[in-house]
């Protein structure tokens, strides 16, 4: 079993600060690999850091060789990739291992398999998960796509085999649109992922986005930490996440959780991972994809279970066996998180970088309210990266109690100098549609934009 003394954090901002917090508790020294733009950021104060390159990600947070060189140079034996950037890059993971740095995540081969969508789907179906009806593997062309779509029924969604983040996707509502949609999806996929292959699924409109948090050790032991409902979205970007998903029937929940654990074991997964599903109009969960990394909304599951997922990732990567069984994991009460982005929700969610003149949380953090952030008064939100500046997570005995507590915390949060999504979150939490669960992924409940 490996005991890491120094751990390299190959990420920035909120997740970098989050990982360092767990390192402190484990007695591991975190070393931050940063870009020029972040070198003086407040979350690096009193920390060890090394500047990788210029602000642009291709020269810093996406520069595989530079990051690993920096990890070796600073004598780190493990590396945490956070989320985004290189977190799901199998080449990066294997390069880390080749240079004697333990990559905190699943094995590169598993990541590679999950990155290609159709083999991943086949593995999941074999383990008993329901899929969205669609093509059997990749398509051979627009003709083939039209035949498959005719068989399963329009509308359909063309998706990129190596895709993600909504790129290379096209909705096709009738056969006559297929050729043009196919060609544009193909060229976009080729440009974004260097892989023009496409597959097709039936379009499920107005579904709910449900996902399952999983944890697996290196010895085949797998547990789940319950599900999360992430249906408050704007353009495929999650805004609010909660657990449990109260729209789910008890039978469907139990059945899918069990199948997800089986599937995770079957593919040889290691570490923390998340399976994403669409809840269709019949109340059935249909597998979409598995994310081979820690997710932004992981604190929701941590609040319910009391398990620190980053700690689990680090200990599993060091070769430890899972130190709790499924039966020992308690899923208590209700937890809900909102993502505070530096965006102006009243003008089309326009990015709002700049200096935070004043940052103040009126309500103290306690065991029921958690604030994950890397910002403080005077911090300048750089224009180079994503807009997430803070997450507020609240716990309650039930959904209403959790929502009320979250709203109270948000009202006490003062952020001057930039626009944030706080007003939108308050409107959602107040709205009848959200409280009564009458919404889906197509529109933000309680917010006209």
Partner 1 sequence: MSEGDYVLRARTIGGEGTELLAPSVGVFLPRVAEGELIASGQSIGMIEVLGVRRSLFIPQNLEGRVSQRIGGGRARVPVQYGDVLLSISTTAMAMRSDAASSSRTADSEGALAFTAPMSGRFYSRPSPSEPPFVSAGDIVKRGQTLGLLEVMKTFNRLVYQGDALPDAAKVERVVPNEGDDVVRGDVILALRALAEG
Token code pair at residue 104: 């905190």
Checking DSSP bridges between strand 388-396 and strand 369-373, what pairing results, if any? antiparallel
Measured torsion, CA atoms of residues 232, 233, 238, 241, in degrees rounded to the nearest 10: 10
State yes or no: residue 68 binds partner 1 (CB under 8 A).
Answer: yes
Which one, 11 or 186, has the nearer CB to partner 1? Answer: 11
CB of 38 to partner 1, least distance (A): 11
Contacts of 34 (CB under 8 A, 6+ apart): 12, 41, 44, 49, 50, 51, 52, 60
Among the listed residues 170, 208, 293, 315, the single catalytic one is 293
Min dist CB 51 to partner 1, Å, is 4
293 a catalytic residue: yes
Measuring CA to CA, which residue among 51, 57, 41, 8 is closest to residue 386? 57
Q: Tell me if the bond preceding 208 is cis, omega within 30° of 0.
A: no
* DSSP conformation letters of 75-112: T-SEEE--SSTTTT-HHHHHHHHHTT-EESSS-HHHHH
Q: Is 386 in the site for partner 1 (CB under 8 A)?
A: no
Nearer to partner 1, 75 or 430 (CB): 75
Specify the stretch interacting with partner 1 by CB under 8 A; choose among 56-64, 172-180, 277-285, 415-423: 56-64
Q: Is 69 in the site for partner 1 (CB under 8 A)?
A: yes
Indicate which single residue of 6, 29, 47, 51 sits in contact with partner 1 (rule: CB under 8 A): 51
Cα 314 from Cα 321, distance rounded (Å): 12
Contact call for residue 73 and partner 1 (CB under 8 A): yes
380 binds partner 1 (CB under 8 A): no
**CA 225, 229, 232, 233 torsion-angle sign:** positive
36 binds partner 1 (CB under 8 A): yes
User: How many of the chain's residues bind partner 1 (CB under 8 A)?
Assistant: 20
The whole-angstrom separation of Cα 302 and Cα 412 is: 23
Segment contacting partner 1 (CB under 8 A): 7-15, 69-77, 113-121, 427-435?
A: 69-77
Hey, what are 38's tokens?
């972040």
User: For partner 1, which is the closer residue by CB, 99 or 173?
Assistant: 99
Calpha distance 217→62 (Å, rounded): 27
Between residues 52 and 312, which has the closer beta carbon with respect to partner 1? Answer: 52
> Which of 47, 48, 54, 162 contacts partner 1 by CB under 8 A?
54
Q: Which residues are catalytic?
A: 293
User: Which chain residues interact with partner 1 by CB under 8 A?
Assistant: 33, 36, 39, 50-54, 59-60, 63, 65-66, 68-70, 72-73, 95, 99
């Amino acid at each position: 079993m490996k005991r890491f003394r120094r751990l390299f954090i190959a990420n920035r901002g909120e997740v970098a600060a989050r990982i360092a917090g767990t390192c402190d508790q484990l007695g591991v020294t975190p070393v931050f690999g940063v870009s020029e733009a972040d070198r003086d950021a407040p979350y690096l104060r009193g920390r060890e850091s090394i500047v990788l390159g210029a602000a642009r990600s291709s020269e810093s947070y996406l520069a595989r060789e530079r990051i690993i060189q920096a990890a070796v140079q600073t004598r780190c034996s493990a590396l945490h990739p956070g989320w985004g950037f290189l977190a799901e890059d199998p080449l990066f993971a294997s390069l880390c291992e080749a240079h004697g740095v333990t990559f905190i995540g699943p094995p590169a081969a598993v990541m590679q398999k999950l990155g290609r969508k159709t083999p991943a789907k086949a593995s999941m179906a074999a383990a008993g998960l329901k899929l969205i009806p669609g093509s059997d593997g990749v398509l051979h062309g627009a003709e083939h796509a039209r035949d498959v779509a005719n068989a399963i029924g329009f509308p359909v969604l063309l998706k990129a085999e190596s895709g993600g983040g909504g790129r290379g996707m096209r909705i096709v509502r009738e056969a006559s649109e297929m050729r043009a949609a196919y060609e544009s999806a193909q060229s976009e996929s080729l440009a974004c992922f260097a892989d023009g292959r496409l597959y097709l699924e039936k379009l499920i409109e107005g579904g709910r986005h449900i996902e399952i948090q999983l944890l697996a050790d290196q010895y085949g032991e797998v547990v789940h930490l319950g599900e999360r409902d992430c249906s408050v979205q704007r353009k495929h970007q999650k805004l609010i996440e909660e657990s449990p998903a109260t729209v789910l029937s008890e039978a469907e929940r139990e059945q899918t959780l069990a199948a997800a654990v089986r599937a995770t074991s079957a593919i040889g997964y290691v570490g923390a991972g998340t399976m994403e599903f669409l809840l269709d109009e019949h109340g059935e969960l249909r597998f979409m994809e598995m994310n081979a990394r820690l997710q932004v909304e992981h604190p929701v599951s941590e609040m319910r279970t009391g398990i620190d997922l980053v700690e689990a990732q680090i200990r599993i990567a060091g070769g430890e066996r899972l130190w709790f069984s499924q039966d020992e994991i308690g899923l208590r009460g209700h937890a809900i998180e909102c993502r505070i982005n530096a965006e102006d929700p009243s003008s089309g969610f326009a990015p709002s970088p700049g200096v935070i003149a004043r940052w103040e949380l009126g309500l103290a953090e306690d065991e029921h309210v958690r604030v994950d952030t890397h910002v403080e008064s005077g911090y300048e939100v750089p224009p180079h990266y994503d807009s997430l500046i803070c997450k507020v997570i609240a716990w309650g005995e039930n959904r209403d109690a959790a929502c009320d507590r979250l709203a109270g915390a948000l009202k006490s949060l003062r952020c001057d100098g930039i626009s944030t999504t706080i007003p939108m979150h308050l409107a959602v939490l107040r709205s009848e549609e959200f409280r009564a669960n009458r919404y889906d992924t197509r529109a933000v409940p309680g917010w006209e934009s």
